[in-house]
Amino acid sequence: MAVKVVMPKLGMAMKKGEVSVWNKKVGDPVEKGESIASINSEKIEMDIEAPESGTLLHIKVKEGEGVPPGTAICYIGENGEEVREKETPAPENEGKPQAEPENIPAPKAGQKRKHRVKISPVARKMAEKAGLKVDTLNGTGPGGRIVKADVIKAMKTEAEPQSSVQTAQPEGKPASAMRKVIADRMHKSLQNSAQLTLTMKADITELLKWQRQLADSAKKRSGVKLTVTHFVSRAAVLALKQHPELNSSYQEERIITYPYVHLGMAVSLENGLVVPVIRDAEKLSFLELADHISTSARRAREGNASGDDLRGSTFSITNLGGYGVEHFTPILNPPEAGILGVGASYETPAFKGDELVKSTILPLSLTFDHRVCDGAPAADFLKTVKTLLEEPAGLIL
C-alpha cells in the first residue's frame, strides 16, 4: 500500500505550511531518508524526507501552495501502484511526515539513514539551474546548511577564468625607528591633550610685494632666499609675545608659560618628519630668524641635526602649502600647547574699498590644547598673526 506523506506542523501557532520546492517529480525513484521536498511556514524552513524507499506516485500539493498541517502532500509506493487516499492522520503523529500505520515496517537493527545534504529550497533551485552538485558546496548557514549566498559564491568561482598568475598579497615591513618615534609621539599627543583647531585666512598680497623687494638684499646679506614661511614664523614669534598662553604647556595639573620662544619648524624627510628648534627666536631679527630656519632645515635634510637641535620647542609651525593643501588639522608636538599650520596660498578677487582687485590669500590652521587656553584667546592669537601678515612692515622693522 502506498505511503502517505503529510505536511508537518512546524510550530504550535502554525495554521498552514507551504511547499517551497519539490526535489523529485512523479515517477522518480526515492530512497528512505532522502529529501523529496522543502516546506516552510513564515520564517521556519525544513526538508521533508521520504519515510520509505520506492517511487513518487502522486504529488497532491503544488509548489507555492499552502495547506494545513496533517494534509497529504504526496504518496510513495511501488512503481505503478494505485494510490488510495485516506485522510485520517492520527493526532499524536501530527507535525511529522506520516505513513499509514499498517505500511510502516519496523526499523531493522543497525540500519543507517542515507546521508542528505542540508540546503535551503532557494539554494537548491539555484544550484540545479547552474548545474552545481549540491554535495560539493560548502554550507555557511546554521548547522552547515547551504544557503543562497553559498551558491552565489560557487557560481562566481565557476565563472572566474583560471589564471596562472597569483593575486598579489599585501606586504608588511617593520616600521623604521623614526616612524616608531613619530607614531608614539603622535598617539600620545592625541591621548594626553584636548586638541582643537581654528582656521583663518590672511591676505598676503602686500607681503608678497615686500618679499620681492627684500629678496636681493636678503640674498646678498645672509645668503637666504626669503619665503612666505619666514614671514609667517616671524609673525608667530611676535604674536606669542603678545599671547603667551599659546607659548605654554600643561604638565602635572600646572600650566607652565615659557619666558622664551623656542620655535619648532617641521621638516619633511624621505622617511619621516623632524622638528628642528630655533632657540630664543624672540631675540632674533627678521633676517636672523630666516637664516636660522633655512640653516636648521638644511642640516636636518642632510642628516646632520643633533639630538639637542630637535628638542625643547615651545611652539611649532608646519607647512603643507607645497602639497596644495589649504586648511588642515596639525597635531600638537608634545608638550606644546600650540602648533600653526600653513596652507597653500591662492589668488582670488577681493574688494579694496570700492575697487575690485586680485588678492592672494594664505590659509592658516591653529591647533591648541584646550586644557591650557580657551577658544577666545587662541582666536586672538591667530588674529594677531593674520594682522601682522597683512601689515608686513611690522615684521621687518
* Catalytic-role residue among 203, 309, 370, 380: 370
> By 3-state DSSP, what share of the chain in percent is helix, strand and coil, each rounded to 5?
35, 25, 40
Nearest C-alpha neighbor of 382 from the set 335, 333, 334, 330: 330
* Catalytic-role residue among 28, 184, 216, 374: 374
Which neighbouring-strand residues pair with 351? 356
Rounded to 10°, the helix 148-159/121-130 angle is 20
E-strand spans in the chain?
3-6, 17-22, 29-30, 35-41, 44-49, 54-59, 66-67, 72-77, 195-203, 248-251, 254-257, 263-265, 267-269, 272-274, 277-278, 315-319, 338-342, 346-352, 355-369
Ramachandran category for residue 304: left, alpha or beta (phi over 0 → left; psi -120 to 50 → alpha): alpha
- Amino acid identity for residue 172 in this structure: G
Cell of 389: 601678515
| Residue 370 bears catalytic tag | yes
Instruction: Tell me how far apart the alpha carbons of residues 141 and 120 are, in angstroms, rounded to a whole number.
Output: 9
- Positions marked active-site: 370, 374
